[in-house]
Amino acid sequence: MPIELKYLDGGGSLLVGTGTLTGREILSAINAVHETEEKTRAIVFQIGDFRLVEKVDISSMDIRRISERDVRTSKINQQLITAIVAGKEVVFGLSRMWQAYLDNPSLITSVFRSMDKAEQWVKEQIKLKDASKPEDEG
């Protein structure tokens, strides 16, 4: 399977794609991360690392299905932070298409070309989220 799932400290998940990537594989990986509502609520951030993807076999309908799945996920965890790291232009473009299909400005997403910038952005988003929590939640 060209997508490997890793759980990270701080409530994160990391999907690492390599080789040829398909829409079905992405959906399968997302479904594994968000297998239950409890697991979905526990995730603070997720990063899709697709820098090692060599070829994509993903249609616009696949991207729409992935975005629809992510919108359902966001209804369970409205504070979920999602960063995508794309190496190839086609992956970057498909990731931006995914963002456009999300069509929800309250979703916290961004697409990057470097892992360093993605990780920095995720940390900033977590700080912003923590700073906006009411005192009794903190």
* pLDDT above 90 (res 90): yes
In this prediction, residue 130 carries a pLDDT of 81
Interval 53-84: pLDDT, tens:
999 999 999 999 999 999 999 999 999 999 99
For residues 19-24, average pLDDT: 94
- The answer for residues whose C-beta is within 8 angstroms of residue 134's C-beta and 6 or more apart is none
pTM of the model: 0.91
In this prediction, residue 135 carries a pLDDT of 63
* pLDDT above 80 (res 137): no
In this prediction, residue 89 carries a pLDDT of 96
Q: Where are the domains of the chain?
A: 3-131
Q: Tell me the pLDDT band of 104, cut-offs 50, 70 and 90.
A: confident
Count Cβ atoms below 10 Å from residue 6 Cβ, excluding itself: 11
Q: If we measure between CA atoms, which residue out of 37, 46, 10 comes closest to residue 130?
A: 10
Domain 3-131 sits in CATH at 3.30.750.24
Percentage, residues of the chain above pLDDT 90: 86
Both tokens of 113, joined, read 């070309």
Q: Which alpha helices (H) appear in 1-138, and where do they start and end? A: 23-33, 37-42, 60-76, 89-102, 115-131
Both tokens of 111, joined, read 């697409």
- The answer for residues whose C-beta is within 8 angstroms of residue 18's C-beta and 6 or more apart is 2, 3, 4, 52, 53, 54
Q: What is the mean pLDDT of the chain?
A: 92
